[in-house]
Amino acid sequence: MLKTLFGVHGEEQSTTRVNLIANVLDGSFYAFGMSFVSLQTIIPVFVQTMGGTNVAVGLVPVLWTFGFNFPQILIVRHVQKLPWKKSLFMKTSFIQRVPWLLMSMVCFFLLEHVGTGIRLVLFFFFFLLTAIGGSLNLPVWFDLISKLTPVKIRGRMFAARSILGALLGIFGGALVTLILGSLSFPQNYGLLFLLAFTMMMVSYWFLNLLTEPVESPVRKDRERHYIEVARRILEGEANFRNFVVSDALIISSSMANAFFAVHAVRKFELSDAYAGVFTVVMMVSMIVGSILFGFLADRFGHKLNLFISAGATLSGSIIAILAPSLEVYLLVFVFSASTLAINMISRLPMVAELCPEEERPTYVALTNIFTSPFVLLGIVAGWLADVAGFAAVFLLAAAFALAAAYWLWARVKEPRRLQVFATENS
């Protein structure tokens, strides 16, 4: 099966088989867990149900992105000095998962006894903690996964994680619909958080199966401060610099994602249980999208996928404004799922192909630090929704998506073509 899916043979197959299976199953069960607490469909509706305003809903992607990106800089230098990654990886992976359990306990025992303000503070505190845990985990995770996965099968490996995770997520979305429709608030959301934690711990068990066969190249720092590192990279790497600009524009366009489900619930007067329906639509779409985008990534490179991602955000934003019925509006979640699938398959692998192997953690951390401040537009989007309505938010997101598509097409060069050109002229 691995030979058919990934094209690994002989000795290569024997050394990569366990790691491929473990990586795919880890990602799949982690995605299964996230289907119970989807940042696009479940969490925004939860914040609204607690009494949160549009600005509070807009805080969801802001806190997640800031928490998931900025703390990386505290650990990345340590990561790239380690010849063996797995030990640190297992510790940070556990830290990433625990806050979901704490959030479930808050729902079960505290939330119904406090007012709206305290509810929001408690939720966002633990929500930020899990994002920070993910941030500490990301550099070592991506460095280890890149180390263990040959470059020519990374797209299909990430696609396989996404496809199986989405298949499980269909079941997760159905459970969400059942739980939100049959249990009272806040116990219904408490159970969702508990299920998310449980599935994430199943994924953690698969992580323990990873085998790290060889040491990683160790980079000795030439610069004392990351300001020096950033200056060297940005001044010397024009293609990476242009990629960062496009990534910032794509992140800016993502301001709409937190509002799609909330807008649908309000526009069509739906119950919270429809968040589960939206999740199922997204999971089915991710299955189809992951098959397609995994193939495109391995065949043509990640730039094409990222261009398609910008187009999907543009399309989803326009449909959200014009959709005359819920059935048409569901296309918004199809396009939103496409952007998520592409992000998992192509965003960080694109970074990996733009940088030297020994500096992978640095490039990943710097990319996120350079671009994540643009997620603050989520707060602006919440204010704009209050002042001018959701249509204004979606129009602004569409404009950023169009700019991202142009910049990718006109300014970012596919790194694999650059490598081929360099090889032919060496």
DSSP 173: H
Query: pLDDT (tens digit, 9 = 90+) per residue, 287-317?
Result: 888 788 878 888 888 889 999 999 999 999 9
pLDDT, residue 215, reads 56
Question: Which of 409, 387, 386, 405 lies closest to 397, judged by CA?
Answer: 405
Instruction: Look at residue 226 in the predicted model and tell me its pLDDT.
Output: 60
Predicted pLDDT at 276: 85
Tell me the C-alpha distance between 73 and 97, whole Å: 20
pTM above 0.85, yes or no: no
Looking at residue 82, what is its pLDDT?
67
What is the predicted pLDDT for the residue at 223? 47
The two structure tokens encoding residue 193: 């958080």
Look at residue 370 in the predicted model and tell me its pLDDT: 81
The third-level CATH classification (topology) of the domain covering 16-210+228-424 is: Growth Hormone; Chain: A; (1.20.1250)
The pLDDT value given to residue 423: 43
Q: What parts of the chain have a pLDDT lower than 50?
A: 1-2, 10-11, 223, 420-426
Residue 276 and residue 40: Cα distance in Å, rounded? 11
Burial-class residue 325 by CB neighbours within 10 Å (0-12, 13-18, 19+): exposed
On whether the CB atoms of residues 367 and 244 are closer than 8 A, the answer is yes
Domain residue limits, the chain: 16-210+228-424
What is the CB-side half-sphere exposure of residue 194 using CA atoms within 13 A?
A: 12
Are 180 and 43 within 8 A, CB to CB? no
pLDDT at 426: 45
Report the C-alpha gap between 355 and 338 in whole angstroms. Answer: 26
